Each structure stands twice: as structure tokens, then as C-alpha cells.
Amino acid sequence: MPVFLGSVAVSASETEQPFSLIQNADETTLDDWMWLKRPVIVFADNANDPRFIEQMRLIEARPDALLERDVVVITDTDPDAKSSVRQKLRPRGFMLAVLAKDGSVVIRKPAPWDVREITRSIDKLPLRRQEIRER
């Protein structure tokens, strides 16, 4: 499945639609990903927040680990836009939220988290354990 990080495509077959690992909250909703992907949402009050920049650097350093776990990263750096994602999760300043495929909140963090920590929290989920067993 093709994946785009910024302008970089990550491995793909020619016949599949491209999938962008990183989505803007203004262009998607949590319902769009229900039972399809595990949303990881990165909130900040603006895109220049050093915590937001660090979190995105960490995510872009290891996209394969996130793709393997059916993750979609949703970013929201504009509180004034009042996206549906922001209205549902109600962050204050920087926040990282990991959701399960059913839309339930797995964890909320007030600081950047390494992809290894994110994937460990995902790997503890019952549905993820079932996915691993079935492979």
C-alpha cells in the first residue's frame, strides 16, 4: 500500500490507491477510520510548538512500525478551526492521543512519545493481539 509522508512515497503497488499516513484534522473525522485504522492524534496550539515538531519528527522517523499496526496519524494545530476531532477529544495545548479501532481512547499524553512507546501501547490491545495471532 503506498504511503506518503510529506512528499515522500513509501513502498506501493501500482494498482492501489495511495494512503497518506499523516492526515490533517480539517480533512478527516474519527468516524472515517472506525474499524479501519488506529488513529494517533497530535494536537498543538500551533505548528511551531516545539513538542509538536518533536512528535512529528519521531513519527516520521519510523513510519513502518505505525503502518504495520494500521495507524493513521491525524494532526490538529489550529484550535480556532474547531475540527470534529478537537471537539471530541478536547485537548489543552499539546496532546498526543492513541485510539483503538473502535474509537475508544487508549492513552492521552501531554508530551511527545517515541514510536516504540506508541506501538507498545497498541500491541497491548485485545484486537491487536488477535491480529498478531492470526498472521
pLDDT by 10-residue block (mean), the chain, 135 residues: 46 60 96 97 98 98 96 97 96 97 96 97 92 85
pLDDT of residue 45: 97
What global pTM score does this model have? 0.85
CB-count exposure of residue 72 (10 Å: 0-12, 13-18, 19+): buried
Label the pairing between strands 19-20 and 3-5: parallel
pLDDT of residue 117: 97
Q: Which amino acid is at 61?
A: A
Q: CA angle 77-91-29, nearest 5°?
A: 65
